[in-house]
Amino acid sequence: MGLRDELQADLAEAFDTDLADAVVDFTCEYMGPGDWDPVEEVSTARPVTYTGRGVLSRYEDRRIDNINILVGDLRLTVLANEISDVPDVGHKVTAPDLMDRAQQLTCEVKTARADPASATYRLQLRRS
């Protein structure tokens, strides 16, 4: 078992036990590939949706610079092996609100980075 597999197994176990209260299910959506019809002025692109689970949190106050990270931005850490697509800038994420889990919030991915072992993605989300 390689480092990536060990990390993912350990994190999945933590998601199920120690972090279970902080883990949220989320849905991502983006427009898939399509062709542009210049005569009809329509695109054949269709939304692509994928789901997963992760830990949603706020940024620490010291990280907020109001240039790259704004007040209200959120961080979502997800396991790479639990999602069927690669998160990218511009994807729309729908997840439970941190303050009221009965409410849903919709955010746009501003940055998406994989860790060095490609076991997790860390997403910077901004409310839409």
| Per-domain boundaries in the chain | 3-34+42-97+104-127
**Under CATH, which number does the domain 3-34+42-97+104-127 receive?**
2.40.10.270
Residue 28 confidence (pLDDT): 97
pLDDT tens by residue, 5-24: 888 888 889 888 988 888 99
Alpha carbon of residue 77 to chain centroid: 7
Which burial class, exposed, middle or buried, applies to 103 when counting CB atoms under 10 A from its CB (0-12, 13-18, 19+)? exposed
pTM for the whole structure: 0.87
The average pLDDT across 35-55 equals: 90
